[in-house]
Amino acid sequence: MAIHPIEFRYGTEEMREIWETDNKLQKMLEVEAALAEAEADLDIIPKNAALEIKSKASTKFVTSKRVSEIEAETNHDIASIVKALAEVCNDGAGEYVHFGATSNDIIDTSQALLFKETLKVLKTRLTELTKIVLRLADENKTNVCIGRTHGQHALPTTYGMKFAIWADELHRQLNRLDECEERLCVGMVTGAVGTTAALGKEGLDIHKKVSKILDLKPVMISSQVIQRDAHAEFIMDLANIASTLEKMALEVRNLQRTEINELGESFDPSKQVGSSTMPHKMNPITAERICGISRVVRAYVAPALQNNPLWHERDLTNSSCERIILPESCMLTDYMIKLSIRLFSNLVFKPENIEKNLNLSNGLIMAERVMAELTRKGMGKQTAYSLVRKCSLEAYDLDTGLKQVIESNDEIKAYLSSSDIELIMDPHTYIGSSVEMVNEVLVASKNWF
């Protein structure tokens, strides 16, 4: 019976296939095979034995069921895999399985293979999302809307700016994954406490050769484990991605609020139900799910950092923790990216509400522009600020438009004509260099992928 929501509700098939039991076992068997191959190349074990080990290092021969049966007796997962592989090898080849290695050589190196597969999926999906957001930036670079600071109407901006800012951030997240991969996806066969002593004078060569066979970079130096700073970095990168996705989803949720209603998730009223009791509800459930799951991924940063300081050359406190946080953080981050792809591929814009909200303050959002234009015309900046602030407060008190107040102000009329004021008060013409900045992001993005 399924218990964890990852098993039936959250996650993608691509990421489940990477972290499911048989694939994890297969990767460990591949490390054992690479170890035997490297040792045979250096005449440490017979070549026929290495070929036999390699031919049987597959879940077709070494099943998860058999490994579990052995582990029930040995209470040691890697020793159980070694025994299960050894018992299916013919002609005495099983005697040479795992020679010179320690458990974490197999665990950490096989995890590096899982990380490589994981990063490929994450980067592919994150690239797809970035391209969607770039398209939205291009389509909306002149779509003027109200910008808000502290939840209050501030100045005009554009939806193109919102999307371009997010696209630029997503690109940085892709860069972080690339940078992390070099440090995270490393191989290790250095034996107990990391000295390669059991492998003799060929130890360092075997360590490097195994990584080469597996298309990994060998770790330069280790104790009995690959140091967990890189693992912590990876989890922090996933948490950072989660925070970006939550930022984007949170903005959609806010903009979908009834009293704002500028854009929102697509909703199929012929099939979809928003509430079990309120027939009218159309809720931002995809965006809310992204925000909720983001909290879980970010929560894994603390244990990931705590996994780095271990006793002496190693202890087991990281092991049980990583069995939980590594697959879950990878699966949940991937799922959030997929949800974000769905969300931003199907956004519904409400142009009439965008325009209504842009003008909701009755011109008060143009106060900065009035001040700036007065300064350009020769009034001191501080004087202009005080004057426009006084006019703004009057507009608030009278519940009238700022334009009406400034048109009746003699000090302002001495500097600005009626035609000047008409132009100044148009929010669609006060978006600064926003179009140019969005275009710069779009041009730069041609070199991103």
Of 150, 270, 312, 320, the active-site residue reads 150
User: Are the C-beta atoms of residues 159 and 140 closer than 8 Å to each other?
Assistant: yes
DSSP string computed for 291-358: HHHHHHHHHTHHHHHHTSS-STT--SHHHHHHHHHHHHHHHHHHHHHHHHHHHHHS-EE-HHHHHHHH
Could you tell me which of 213, 218, 196 has the C-alpha nearest to residue 99? 196
**Could you tell me the two tokens for 395?**
């507009």
- Quick one: DSSP state of residue 208? H
Considering 68, 266, 275, 345, which one is annotated as catalytic?
Answer: 275
Question: In degrees rounded to 5, what are phi and psi of residue 246?
Answer: -65, -40
Kindly report the number of other CB atoms within 10 A of residue 328's CB atom.
18
Distance, CA of 217 to CA of 206 (rounded, Å): 13
Q: Collapsing DSSP states into helix, strand and coil, what is residue 201?
A: helix
Q: What is the DSSP letter of 429?
A: G
Note whether 125 and 338 are within 8 A (CB): yes
In 192-270, DSSP assigns E strands to 217-218, 263-264
- Is-catalytic flag, 98? no
CA 62 to chain centre: 35
CA gap 158, 35 in Å, rounded: 57
Query: Read out DSSP for 101-132?
Result: --HHHHHHHHHHHHHHHHHHHHHHHHHHHHHH
The residue among 162, 23, 37 whose CA lies nearest residue 99 is 37
207 in catalytic set: no
Strands 217-218 and 263-264: unpaired
91, burial (CB in 10 Å: exposed 0-12, middle 13-18, buried 19+): exposed
Would you name the residues annotated as active-site residues?
A: 150, 275
